[in-house]
Structure 1
Amino acid sequence: MAAGAGLSPPLAVLESGYGKDNGALLENSGAEGRENAKQSKGGRPPRSLSTIQLCGRAVRHANSADLDVDFGSLDFKSPSEEKGGFLPIFRSGSYAEIGPKPYMEDEHICVDNLVEYLGPTVDCQFAGAFYGVFDGHGGRDAAVFTQKNILKFIVEDTEFTNCLDKAIRNAFVKADQALASTCALDTSSGTTALTAFISGRTLVVANAGDCRAVLGKRGRAVEMSRDHKPNCSIEKLRIEKLGGTVYDGYLNGQLSVARALGDWHMKGPKGSFGPLSAEPELKQVILTDEDEFLIMGCDGLWDVMSSQCAVTIARKELMLHNDPERCSRELVREALKRNTCDNLTVIVVCFSPEPPPRIEIPKTRVRRSISAEGLSFLKEVLDSNI
C-alpha cells in the first residue's frame, strides 16, 4: 500500500430480507425498453449494438445531508444538521461496450443530483445521488425494465424516508415480481442488479448478482459488495438448503449467478424461497476525505481484473485528467486488452472536484522490492487478520 493511506472504517453490513409488494406497478416498460431510444437523463446508454455505448455525467451541487445509522435503519438529516467535515460533490462518468458478445444486454443509470432528477413530483428534501449497473442475460427485457424502474420503486416505497435499507430491499423484490407479472416482458429474461444510493456522506450499496462496487480509498481498494457466484461457499450452502444444486459452477447447471432478478422459468411461485434469490445484500459506509471515488462494473470487468488493479488504474487516470468518463473508458479498454468474454459496463463516481492527490512515500535508506499495489494488498490482508 502506498504510504500515507489510513485504515478504512469498518463496514456495517445491513442484513438483507424480503419485503412485501407495495401497490401496483409504476409503469409497463417492456415495449419501450426495446426501442432504440436516446440516452436518457438517468444515464442509460444508447441501444445500438454496433457502436460503443457511452454515458457521462458531471453535475455539482453544494447542499448535502447526513444520514445516521441506528439498528439498521437509516434516518435522513437536513443540511442544517450537518456538523461540518467532508462533504462529497458527486461527479460521474460511464462507459459501456458490447465486447466480444453478439448482443449488448447491460444497462446502467447515473444520477448525480437526485433532487434535480426526481423533480417536484417526489418529496425528496435531501441532496444525494444514485447509480446502478444491470447485467442482463437471456435477453434485454429484465435489465431494461429494472434500469427504468428501480429508483422509482425505491423513492415511492413507504419506508423511503424512514428506513432506506428496507426501501431498497422492497424495491429489488418488487422489480423481481414485476418481471413475472408484466405480460410484455420475457419471463425467461433475467438480470443482476448493483445500486449505490448516496445521501450526504452515507453510501449504501445493494447487490444481487456478480456485478461489483469498489471504493478507492487513497489508492487502496475497499470492496463494497460480494460476488454472488453459485460456487461461493455461502451461496452454495444456501442453494443446497433450498433444494438446488451447483454443477460445474452453475446454479442447477443453468445459471452462472446465485442471485438475480427475473429468470422466472427457474423460480417457484411468488413469495416462495427458491435457490435463485432476488434478495440483495446491503453495505453502508460513511464517506471521508480519504474516499476518492467509487467504481461500479459488471462481471466483464472483474473477470479479468482485480479490485485493487482497477483502483490503481482509475486513480492514475484521474490524476492525469480528472475526468471520470475517460477513466471509465480506460478501464473498459484495459479489460478488452485482457480478453474479457463479456459485455462491459463501468461507472466511476468521484467525490471531489479535485483530482486525487499524489501519495508521498517516506524516504528510507532500506531498499524495497515490493510495489505500492503489493503493499496495499499486504496491508489489507494484515488488517483482515486483526
Structure 2
Amino acid sequence: MSQASADPRLIAARPAPRRRVRLSWSDPSFRALVWQVVIVGAVVAIGWYFISNTAQNLAARHIATGFGFLGRVAGIPVGEALLAYDPSVSTYGRALLIGVLNTLQVSVIGVVLATILGTVIGIGRLSRNWLLARLTAFYVETLRDIPLLLQLLFWYTLLQQLPGPKQAWHLGHLVFLSNRGIRLPELVWQPAYGWMLAAFGVGLAGTLLLLGRARRRQEVTGVRPAVWPVALALLIGLPVAVWAVLGAPFAVELPVLRGFNFQGGGTLSPEFFALLTGLVTYTASYIAEIVRSGIQAVPRGQWEAAEAVGLGSAQVLRRIVLPQALRIIIPPMTSQYLNLTKNSSLAVAIGFQDIVSIANTTLNQTGQAIEGIAIIMAVYLTISLSISLLMNWYNARIALVER
C-alpha cells in the first residue's frame, strides 16, 4: 500500500459511493406515491370526461355557454330588494345581486337572533325552577324533531290567516300587522347618516385599540383599567356629535292605510317574516343544547368556589362559567351558523326571493342551467367559508395558550 493511499486526509476526501435507490412495492412511501398518482389521475380523467361530455351535449342542442346573460335585461319581478330595481331596465346580474343580499339579510339577522334565543333557552334548561326547565326542554325536544320545511309552511300559513289591511292589528297606529306583513315606521335616509356611520367606524376602531391596550396592561400589572367611559364616548358620543354638527336631520315616514293597502313606512313581508321565524326558532333549539352542554362541561367546583366568595348565580354564570364554556361552545356553534345559512335556501318553498329563487327563475328564462347552479354554489360556498374563517379566528382568540 502506497503512502498516498494510506493518508487518512485523502481517504476522507474521497466521495462516498452512491447509494442505489430501489423502488419496491413493499416500501410504504413508494406505495403511497403510486396511489396518490392513481387517484389524482382518476379524478382528472373523470372531470375531463364530464366537461367534454357536457360541452358536446350543449353544442348538439345549440345551447350557448358563458355568463354573458348577466348583462341582459332580466324582466323578473322582485318583491323585496335592498337595492333599486326595475324589471324593465335592470339586468340579470343585478337581480342575482339582490338575491344574494336577501340571503345575507336573512342569514345575518337569523344568526344573531338564534344565538340570543338559543342561549336563553339553553340557560333556562339548567334553571332550578321546575316549570322553566320543563318548558325549555319541551321547546327543544319539539322543534328540533319537526322538519324545518314543515315549520316554514306552518308559520307562512299562520301569517296568511291574519286579518286584511283594513282590519289590521295595530300598536298605537304606528305598527300594523296584517296578512300583507308588518308595516313599521321607516327612517328617511339623510346624507348625514353616512357620516355618522363613518364616525361610528372610527369610534369602533378606537375602542378596539383601547381594549387591546387594557388587556396588555392587565397582563403586566394585574389591574384592568376601565374602558367603558371612553368606549361609550367613541361609539355613541362621536356619532351623535357629528349628527348635531351636520344639522341633526331626522325624518320618519309612517305607514298610512290608503285604499286596500298601506302606503309608506317599512315592510316586513309575510314570506320574510315566516322564513326568519322558522330559521331562528329551529336553529335556536340546537344552539340551546350546545350552550347547555358547554355550561355543564365546566367543573362544578368553579360554581362552588365563586359562590363561596359571595357571587350570585347570575354573576357566576356571566363572569366565570360562560367565558370558560365558550371554548367548548364555539366549534359546534359554527356548524349551526352554517346550517342556518344553507337552510335559508328553503325560502323558495314559501315564495321569498333569495339567491336560489332568483337563480332558478334566471336559468329557466335563459336556459343557462350550469351557470345558474354554479352561481348558487359559489354564493353559498363563499358565505360558508367566510363564517368558518370568522368563527375559527374567534375560537383561536379565546383559546387557552400554554406559556
Q: TM-score, normalised by structure 1?
A: 0.26
Between structures 1 and 2, the one with greater helix share: 2
Q: TM-score, normalised by structure 2?
A: 0.25
Between structures 1 and 2, the one with greater strand share: 1
Which protein is bigger by CA-based radius of gyration?
2
